[in-house]
Amino acid sequence: MLNSMEESTRRMRKFVDKYCAKSGTTTHPDKKVTEAVINGLANNNLTLGRPLCPCRFYPDKEAEVKHRTWICACDDMQIYKYCHCLLFVNKEGLPITEYLPEDHEGRVIHGFVKDPTPDKGRPLRDKAQEREKERKARPS
Ligand code: SF4
């Protein structure tokens, strides 16, 4: 159980550092972007008990927590290595979009962004088909 925003923020920073190394990504070159996302994750972790992605709107946050799709690192990150919050990006600050379906919002917004470290990350890559079905039924 987390007792303070300070503790929650510290844990999220540690998680982000580790996840960057594991996924072969980097945090955004504009530190303000990274700080805002870490702050949002830490706040959700403190108030909801899980680091729910802070860059989305949820009609019911409590219900969303039970559905693991948007718990950081979310399904899009673990399957496609795509972070729409721009927390885990390439050195230029762009999210990896190489593995996304062509009609995914990330490809539409950012175009094709190649993965510079294809040997790292995407532990749930085998779930891409399943995620696609879910995305079509429940828009991302
Ligand atoms: S988009 Fe996914 S990986 Fe990026 S901050 Fe949100 S939950 Fe984390």
What CATH number is associated with residue 58? 3.90.460.10
Q: Give me ligand 1 centre to Cα 67, in Å.
A: 15
The predicted-structure confidence for 5-19, as pLDDT tens digits, reads as follows 999 999 999 999 999
Q: Which residues line ligand 1 (CB under 6 A)?
A: 37, 53, 55, 70, 72-74, 76-77, 83-85, 87-88
CA of 127 to the centre of ligand 1 (A): 17
Give the lowest-confidence range in 1-10, 15-24, 65-74, 121-130.
1-10
Whether the per-residue pLDDT at 140 is higher than 80: the answer is no
* pLDDT at res. 138: 72
User: What's the chain's average pLDDT?
Assistant: 94
Whether 55 is catalytic: yes
Neighbours of 107 (CB within 10 A): 18
The predicted pLDDT at position 1 comes to 64
Q: Span 35-39, mean pLDDT?
A: 98
Res 17: pLDDT: 98
As for how many domains the chain has, the answer is 1
Query: Does the model's pTM come out above 0.85?
Result: yes
- Whether residue 116 has pLDDT greater than 80: yes
**Active-site position among 20, 55, 74, 83:** 55
Percent of the chain with pLDDT over 90: 88
Q: What is the mean pLDDT of residues 48-77?
A: 94
Distance 140 CA to ligand 1 centre (A): 12
- Which residue is closest in CA terms to ligand 1's atom 8? 72
CB 89 within 8 A of CB 96: yes
